[in-house]
Amino acid sequence: MPHSPPVPHLHDAGWPRGRAGAILTIDLDAIRANYRTVQARASGAECAAVVKADAYGLGAARVAPMLERAGARTFFVAHVDEGIALRLHIAPASRVFVLHGPLAGAEADCVRHDLIPVLNSFEQIGAWRALAHRLGRTLPAAVQFDTGMSRFGLSEEDLERIDADPDGWHGIERCLVMSHLACADDPSDPASAHQRERLLAMRARLPAAPLSLAASSGIFLGPDFHFDLVRPGAALYGVAPNGTAPNPMRPVVRLQARILQTRTVGPRDGVGYGLTYRPTSRRRIATIAAGYADGFMRHAAREGRAWLGTQPLPIVGRISMDSMAVDITDAPDSLTTPGAMLDLLGPQHGVDEVARGAGTIGYEILTSLGHRYHRAYVADGAASSLS
């Protein structure tokens, strides 16, 4: 299949800029730089790229070709249909692994679209082996072990059942053996070292194959966790690998929401559903065009902020589905008229800071941003527009 066309200098997508209530700018140059940062950190291992959930909400059709040009040749998605869609935008020689493996009956779709399943259970291995037998050929697959997270992967009991069957692995080419760390974002947690040792012990029961353990946070635990392939995801999109050190990743997204209306309220007034915000003095309030349908959790107003340049402006009252209220009393009137833009994500206030205010993580902020924005994809030198 052909490559997708090169990303232009500034590609606009989504709702027209003039009609959209908010503008989401995605810096592809920053994603490329972040890929190269983790690639250098894991020198000696292949650096794959995780583009599941539509590249963490940022658009896999645009992100994956940029990562491929930066050197990525292996991609990970969660579902078969994500892999089918991704195939349209990357080179035929690039590998696509499906983390969930195929649902029952979807095995042939993996073969048809050149997707490599991650086999997580005794049943998936049996179905993949049966398909190989019907096709009369060996089929590639990754094999995942559960090393302590109790989520995906073969258990010790599964491995024993397969070992007891002389044909247990017949027809399956194990091109990757992998597991996933549960506590890698906390470098002091001993669970990561325990999982590493357990993976090595389980892998020793199979013929040699490339090994993978580290995703974004695991890469920053050091070379002992890199093995043959690393799988960065959130770090590519600007999320901090852990909370114990300065974030080495470049910010990727900027979200600007339009002011729809302003008003002055006083001590007898309330703002928003439930009238939960009641000012103690006269305040200027702006209603802006972003709400929980756009990825901003309803309770986030407790500590949430919008920004005018470097000036923080508190979000007040409850966040609604399509809007929220911001106290603009201390901002210049001339810069906060209807139609003006306030930042909700940006250089002064990134996804990790917004996540802390909402009591969640940067991953959830990114993947919840929704599709009602005008999206601008900036590349090839236009990254200065994010600063």
Summarize the annotated binding site for substrate as residue ranges. Answer: 151, 321
DSSP letter at 295?
T
DSSP letter at 339?
T
Alpha-carbon torsion (244, 250, 253, 259), positive or negative: positive
Active site residue 52: yes
Tokens matching residue 104? 């029952």
Active site residue 363: no
* Selected catalytic residue, list 35, 237, 273, 373: 273
Q: Other C-beta atoms within 10 Å of 133: how many?
A: 13
Residues ≥6 apart with Cβ < 8 Å to 316: 271, 272, 277, 285, 301, 325, 326, 327
CA dist 163 to 139, 166, 168, 323, Å?
19, 7, 6, 57
* Selected catalytic residue, list 35, 52, 56, 377: 52
Alpha helices (runs of H) in 164-307, residue ranges in sequence order: 191-203, 216-219
**DSSP for 145-188, written as a single string:** B-SSSSSSSB-HHHHHHHHTSTTTTTTEEEEEEE---SSTTSTT
- Amino acid identity, residue 112? R
Alpha-carbon torsion (231, 234, 240, 244), positive or negative: negative
**Separation of alpha carbons 192 and 369, rounded Å:** 31
3-state SS class at 120: coil
Q: Which residue ranges are tagged as binding site?
A: 151, 321
Q: What are phi and psi of 333, to 5 degrees?
A: -60, -40
Tokens matching residue 377? 């994809």
Active centre residues (catalytic): 52, 273
